[in-house]
Chains A and B, each alone.
Chain A
């Protein structure tokens, strides 16, 4: 059997994700200006896109393009680490629920049901406001509302694995529950976990953008895409580009991880 190369979804998604990582890592080298300093002559008015400032300048005379490039940092840090936390918790909960069954499953899955009936953004807003917005609080709150979907899927996959012959054989040989889960079940649900990881990154990115649009993001002067859209609201008639470019950046990042996730998914189905 020929091993299929990456499909176009994976390639485009992967390229987008890679470009974001490069932008975030090398922001100081790539960005043409300091994102927090005024670089254009301004009298309180945003400047339109020009050769010197391809995405225009904001009401404080800062270069929008440079702010966008630096904005990739916060988005990626929050998006990826919130995803990592949510995946860890979700996979652990799903594995335990699916593997042990009984009371463990009952309790874990009822918690998941409850979390899924609370509106994620609303809950996140409430907790971030109470804990005060900071990188850590935003990251934790986003993970708190994102792990449940993962737990459900992992539980279902674990259930179908736990009764397979190879798991039973390992159990008969006296393998411990931990060893069974990590060495035998985990590798077999890994493809699903990878799909979930890509798709939940787009989810955490959108949640982070939504929170910072509501003024509950990482506090200024750190540039963040969601807040840039929010700050540009009052200029939507006079300077529409101020809202246009940061939103496009969010779309670019979220779309990248969605493409990656669907690409992985398609690969599994065609196999």
Chain B
């Protein structure tokens, strides 16, 4: 188990190193000069040269990368050009709003996806299965920003007590989490249905049926327990997609989280903030995958031996 844990952590660290290399590249495909971005277009050459030296921009690329990496490891992601604040400070300030939204949406999508998958699995090949297939494919195909906008339209017209944007208490969470969750829910229900179909054909299910257990008990206690495992891995992998959805959802609902921060950074071409948000998001994704791997090992002892 310990060996497995160390292996996963080392892998995560390696992947993050690669991610840092790619984020570092962002800064170098940019045609704009960071020194000009800080000092303004009218700065004299001497000032610009001083700033470049201060930022280490006159050093070779690999030196700059190692410095960037060293600072990032200490939690220093540089200073935002546009806001003139530390990037890590900005990220920390916005993190909680995104975390609340992402966790809510994740749980909601797992619950809805499990329900949908169970119903589809129970009625395999019959009308509800095809209805649910169409429904889940539709959910997967809905652009999240449009679903959010339609929720706003509906809430503005019919549900007066729901806030239409911003992060202000539990009620303000309802619309954005549903907008964010429904797409993944459709995806999970598809996967669960497919897993159930595979599990149901196996001997131990036939044995459970043969000893006279009710179909509901066979489904919930025997089939679901095995079919739901891959969903855990999937939810971890899907976390990257969830974060992409967060950017769009936060824009629609004016949610004060990381997604909006990244959006603003991109619009101001605020390079340190762009690099910081991308790197931090990949850190979150690596962490989510690590948690899922451990959860999986705990749920399914077979993986620990592998």
Q: Taking beta carbons and an 8 Å cutoff, which residues of A are in contact with B? A: 110-111, 113-123, 125-127, 129-131, 202, 206, 209-210, 213-216, 226, 229-230, 232-233, 236-237, 240, 243-244, 246-247, 250-251, 254-255, 258-259, 262
Contact = CB atoms under 8 A, between A and B. Distances in A.
A259 B142 CA distance: 13
A168 B281 CA distance: 44
Contacts, number: 146
Contact of B137 (A116, A117, A240, A255): A255
Contacts of B240: 116-120
B10 interface: no
B208 to A, nearest CB: 25
Contacts of A258: 137, 140-141
A129 B278 contact: no
Interface string B131-144: 00100011011111
B143 A210 contact: yes
A236 B143 contact: no
Nearest to B152: A236
A123 B278 contact: yes
A119 B282 contact: yes
Interface of B: 14-16, 18-19, 21-22, 26, 29-31, 133, 137-138, 140-147, 149-150, 152-153, 156-157, 237, 240-241, 243-245, 247-248, 251-252, 262-263, 266-267, 269, 274, 277-278, 281-282, 285-286, 289
Given A118-B281, A226-B145, 16 more contacts: A114-B22, A117-B19, A117-B289, A118-B22, A118-B240, A122-B247, A122-B277, A126-B266, A209-B145, A210-B145, A214-B263, A230-B145, A233-B149, A237-B156, A251-B141, A251-B146
A199 to B, nearest CB: 10
Given A122-B278, A236-B152, A229 B142 contact: no
Nearest to A207: B244
Contact of B26 (A110, A116, A126, A236): A126
A122 B281 contact: yes
29 contacts: A114-B21, A117-B19, A119-B241, A119-B278, A123-B278, A126-B274, A126-B278, A127-B29, A131-B29, A202-B140, A210-B144, A210-B247, A210-B248, A213-B251, A214-B266, A215-B267, A216-B266, A226-B145, A229-B143, A230-B145, A233-B149, A233-B252, A236-B152, A237-B156, A251-B138, A251-B142, A251-B146, A255-B137, A255-B141
Contacts of A210: 143-145, 244, 247-248
Contacts of B266: 125-126, 129, 214, 216
Contact of A229 (B18, B149, B156, B243): B149
A246 B263 CA distance: 22
A119 B281 contact: yes
Contacts of A244: 150, 153
Most buried by A among B137, B138, B247: B137
Contact of A118 (B19, B133, B137, B145): B19
B149 A243 contact: yes
A57 to B, nearest CB: 18
Nearest to A125: B266
Given A229-B146, A247-B143, A251-B142, A117 B285 contact: yes
A119 B152 contact: no
A236 B152 CA distance: 7
Contact of B146 (A122, A214, A250): A250
A130 B26 contact: yes
